């Protein structure tokens, strides 16, 4: 071939290239609570020549369309109760995972997750998670987002209380100066039930954990510590033995034994065991087979597949032990009217949708609580909670919106306190569909969003950026991994390589 022919081909190729270079444009679906954020992102992307059309929906409406793969980009969030990527990174980013709305698939990441959820010792699990984070970071399946802090407030007369990352409101060690009753303004409009087998939400759990004890519990920062169990041993990869505290009694005087523990888990694991209904909680325990009694103070958890000890412990925090004899005697309906647990407070009166009054259980095995009465009041409107705290009607309020924090901080005798959040917020991209099937485009978007200014302006600094889909509070978090920097020039370059010139 003669050289001029090469020249012609080169010119033609350039022409085709220029003609095919185009403006990147896509639709970003969001919900009303994040509309401001989505608009801010759209205008930032506009600056590097990307057209974003923001559409605002009611939450829950879009999920079917997202799962069907017909949307391009969407704001999503996902909470974790485990302090382990087991119920965040894994469902969201495993190929075909339950929450994998971005259709991300990386066989090596899948393998890491497989190792992390079936290996029982910590070091290889942590290594697997760290490897997954690096891969996910460079694959950039989402525009990685942030975690919101959990903001709560209390009267400064409150002692011995801290907001917790898992939204628990433990009153066991709490007290009020100049009083012996505490009222807590809850963020929900109603808790679900007094039956510890029949709920899935954290608000119900916040109340129940004051009435019932579990085998283990969390400190406010998320560390697992003994409660009804004094110790535990790993027999093999599928078997764990727990030793129970002796001398623990329920609030009706019955002793708490291994039978009660086995009964509690049997109700949850056996389909139809709660008056013909199945507990929605079984999934929290992973691939468990059954729980059996060894003797009066020892129980054994038997798994079908190897299951990590730390995951089992994180799960057990959320399972409240119920009294077998009493439950059998009064039945489920009777139990819901007069619940009995072994916790520091016992039910006095009230209803699930307005207020629940608990009184101190004087024979609590760990010593009686300081408060004689605890009231959980359902106050779904944040402004009302703030007003009630200001007027002195309640001593603690949950879920303070960031924009109301200054109002509380300017008031005398009010403390605003925060705990680390456990919910990741992000923008998921449909990795299967053009333009987001190109990793350069996904990386470019991560570089083009100035999160620091968005988090400062919209969430008043009560949010922390996440480098990937893993939470800093979770097991195996790689703190050396940095979030994508704000680098619009580099983003433009990547887009150009991908064939988008922004014109």
Partner 1 sequence: MRLLKILQRLLAALPVALGVAVLAFLFLRFLPGDPVEIMLGDTQVSKQQIAELRHQLNLDQPIGAQLIHFFGQLAHGQLGTSIVKDESVTKLIGNALPATIELTFATVVVALLIALPVGILSAIHQGSWLDRAVLSGALLGISMPSFWFGLLLILFFAVEVHLLPTSGRISSTLLVDRRTGFMLVDTLLAGDPRAFVDAVKHLVLPALTLGVVFAAVLARVVRSSMIEALHRQYVTTARAKGVREAGVIVKHALRNALIPAVTVAGLQIGELLGGNMIVETIFAWPGVGRLVVNSIFARDYVVVQGAVMLYAITYVAVNLLVDVIYTFLNPRIVL
The verdict on 410 binding partner 1 (CB under 8 A) reads no
Q: Which one-letter DSSP state was computed for residue 320?
A: B
Q: Comparing C-alpha atoms, which of 438, 424, 334 is closest to residue 93?
A: 424
Count CB-CB contacts under 10 A for residue 147.
Answer: 23
The 3-state secondary structure of 415-481 reads EEEEECCCEEEEEEECCCCCCCCCHHHHHHHHHHCCHHHHHHHHHCCCEEECCCCCCCCCCCCCCCC
The verdict on 350 binding partner 1 (CB under 8 A) reads yes
Residue number, 60 or 178, with CB nearest to partner 1: 60
Residue number, 339 or 435, with CB nearest to partner 1: 339
User: Distance (Å, rounded) from C-alpha 286 to C-alpha 85?
Assistant: 14
The verdict on 37 binding partner 1 (CB under 8 A) reads no
Site size toward partner 1 (CB under 8 A) is 61
Q: Please give the residues from 234 up to 273 whose contact with partner 1 meets the rule CB under 8 A.
A: 271
Question: For the window 163-202, what string marks contact with partner 1 as x by the rule CB under 8 A?
Answer: ------------------x-x-----xx-xx-x--xxxx-
The single residue among 388, 399, 400, 491 that binds partner 1, judged by CB under 8 A, is 388
Which range touches partner 1 (CB under 8 A), out of 104-112, 212-220, 290-298, 374-382? 374-382
The two structure tokens encoding residue 125: 């699990």
User: Distance (Å, rounded) from C-alpha 371 to C-alpha 367?
Assistant: 12
Residue with tokens 């009083």: 179
Residue number, 147 or 388, with CB nearest to partner 1: 388
Q: Comparing C-alpha atoms, which of 7, 37, 323 is closest to residue 196?
A: 323
Residue number, 27 or 65, with CB nearest to partner 1: 65
The two structure tokens encoding residue 404: 């109301």
Buried residues in 88-100 as b, exposed as e (16+ CB within 10 A): bbbbbbbeebebb
Q: How far apart are the first and last CA of the chain?
A: 36
Which range touches partner 1 (CB under 8 A), out of 1-9, 41-49, 63-71, 159-167? 63-71
Provide the minimum distance between the beta carbon of 368 and partner 1 in the complex, in angstroms, as a whole number: 20
State how far Cα 252 lies from the chain centre. Answer: 34
The single residue among 10, 16, 61, 294 that binds partner 1, judged by CB under 8 A, is 61
The verdict on 381 binding partner 1 (CB under 8 A) reads yes
Q: Which one-letter DSSP state was computed for residue 245?
A: P
Instruction: Give just the sign of the alpha carbon dihedral 415, 420, 424, 426.
Output: positive
The verdict on 87 binding partner 1 (CB under 8 A) reads yes
The verdict on 99 binding partner 1 (CB under 8 A) reads yes
Which range touches partner 1 (CB under 8 A), out of 33-41, 339-347, 383-391, 447-455? 383-391
Half-sphere exposure of 425 (CA within 13 A, CB side): 19
Residue number, 113 or 500, with CB nearest to partner 1: 113
Q: Please give the residues from 200 up to 219 whose contact with partner 1 meets the rule CB under 8 A.
A: 200-201
Provide the minimum distance between the beta carbon of 500 and partner 1 in the complex, in angstroms, as a whole number: 32
The verdict on 380 binding partner 1 (CB under 8 A) reads yes
- Sheet with 73-79, strands from edge to edge, namely 50-57, 24-31, 73-79, 423-429, 142-148, 463-465
The single residue among 159, 329, 349, 432 that binds partner 1, judged by CB under 8 A, is 349
The verdict on 80 binding partner 1 (CB under 8 A) reads yes
The single residue among 2, 4, 5, 64 that binds partner 1, judged by CB under 8 A, is 64
The verdict on 90 binding partner 1 (CB under 8 A) reads yes
Residue number, 290 or 336, with CB nearest to partner 1: 336
Provide the minimum distance between the beta carbon of 91 and partner 1 in the complex, in angstroms, as a whole number: 5
The verdict on 60 binding partner 1 (CB under 8 A) reads yes
The verdict on 401 binding partner 1 (CB under 8 A) reads no
The single residue among 21, 63, 414, 439 that binds partner 1, judged by CB under 8 A, is 63
Provide the minimum distance between the beta carbon of 365 and partner 1 in the complex, in angstroms, as a whole number: 27
Alpha helix ranges (H) inside 279-318:
309-316
Count CB-CB contacts under 10 A for residue 225.
Answer: 10
35-46 helix and 439-448 helix, angle to the nearest 10 degrees: 110
310, 122 contact by CB (below 8 A): yes
Max CA distance (Å), the chain: 100
Provide the minimum distance between the beta carbon of 394 and partner 1 in the complex, in angstroms, as a whole number: 9
Which range touches partner 1 (CB under 8 A), out of 45-53, 72-80, 106-114, 212-220? 72-80
Q: Please give the residues from 282 up to 311 whose contact with partner 1 meets the rule CB under 8 A.
A: 282-284, 286
The single residue among 88, 400, 408, 416 that binds partner 1, judged by CB under 8 A, is 88
Instruction: Give just the sign of the alpha carbon dihedral 433, 490, 134, 148.
Output: negative
Which range touches partner 1 (CB under 8 A), out of 57-65, 123-131, 227-235, 236-244? 57-65
User: Cβ neighbours of residue 430 under 8 Å, at least 6 residues apart?
Assistant: 69, 71, 72, 73, 102, 103, 436
E strand intervals along 103-161: 142-148, 150-155, 158-159
Site residues for partner 1 per CB under 8 A: 58-65, 78-81, 86-88, 90-91, 98-99, 181, 183, 189-190, 192-193, 195, 198-201, 271, 277-278, 280, 282-284, 286, 336, 349-351, 353-355, 357, 373, 375, 377-381, 383-384, 387-388, 390-391, 393, 423
């Amino acid at each position: 071939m003669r050289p001029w022919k090469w020249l012609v081909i080169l010119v033609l190729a350039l022409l085709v290239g220029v003609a095919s270079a185009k403006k990147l444009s896509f639709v970003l679906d969001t919900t009303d609570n994040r509309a401001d954020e989505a608009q801010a992102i759209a205008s930032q992307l506009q600056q590097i020549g990307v057209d974003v059309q923001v559409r605002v929906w009611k939450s829950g409406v879009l999920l079917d369309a997202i799962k069907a793969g017909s949307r391009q980009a969407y704001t999503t969030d996902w909470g974790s109760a485990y302090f382990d990527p087991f119920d965040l990174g894994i469902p969201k980013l495993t190929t075909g995972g339950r929450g994998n709305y971005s259709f991300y698939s990386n066989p090596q990441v899948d393998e890491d997750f497989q190792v992390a959820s079936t290996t029982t010792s910590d070091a290889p699990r942590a290594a697997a998670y760290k490897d997954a984070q690096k891969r996910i970071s460079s694959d950039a399946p989402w525009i990685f987002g942030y975690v919101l802090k959990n903001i709560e407030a209390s009267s400064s007369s409150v002692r011995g209380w801290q907001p917790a990352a898992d939204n628990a409101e433990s009153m066991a060690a709490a007290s009020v100066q100049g009083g012996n009753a505490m009222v807590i303004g809850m963020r929900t409009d109603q808790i679900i039930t007094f039956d510890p087998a029949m709920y899935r939400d954290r608000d119900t759990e916040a109340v129940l954990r004051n009435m019932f004890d579990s085998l283990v519990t969390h400190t406010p920062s998320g560390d697992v510590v003994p409660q009804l169990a004094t110790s535990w041993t790993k027999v093999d990869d599928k078997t764990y033995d727990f030793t129970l505290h002796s001398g623990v009694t329920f609030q009706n005087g019955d002793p708490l034994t291994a039978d009660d523990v086995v009964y509690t888990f049997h109700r949850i694991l056996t389909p139809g065991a709660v008056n013909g209904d199945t507990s929605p909680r079984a999934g929290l325990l992973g691939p468990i087979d059954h729980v059996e009694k060894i003797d009066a103070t020892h129980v054994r958890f038997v798994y079908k597949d190897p299951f990590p000890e730390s995951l089992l412990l994180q799960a057990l925090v959320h399972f409240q032990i119920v009294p077998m004899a009493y439950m059998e005697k009064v039945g489920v309906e009777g139990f819901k009217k007069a619940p009995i647990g072994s916790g520091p407070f016992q039910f006095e009166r009230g209803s699930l949708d307005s207020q629940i009054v608990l009184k101190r259980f004087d024979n609590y095995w760990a010593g009686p609580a300081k408060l004689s009465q605890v009231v959980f009041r359902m106050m779904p409107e944040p402004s009302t909670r703030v007003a009630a705290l200001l007027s002195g009607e309640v001593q603690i309020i949950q879920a303070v919106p960031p924009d109301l924090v200054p109002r509380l901080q300017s008031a005398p005798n009010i403390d605003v306190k925060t705990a680390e959040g456990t919910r990741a917020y992000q923008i998921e991209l449909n990795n299967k569909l053009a333009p987001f099937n190109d990793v350069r485009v996904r990386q470019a978007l991560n570089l083009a969003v100035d999160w620091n200014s968005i988090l400062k302006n919209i969430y008043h600094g009560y949010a922390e950026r996440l480098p990937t889909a893993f939470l800093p509070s979770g097991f195996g978090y790689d703190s050396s991994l940095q979030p994508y920097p704000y680098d619009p020039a580099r983003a433009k370059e990547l887009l150009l390589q991908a064939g988008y010139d922004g014109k």
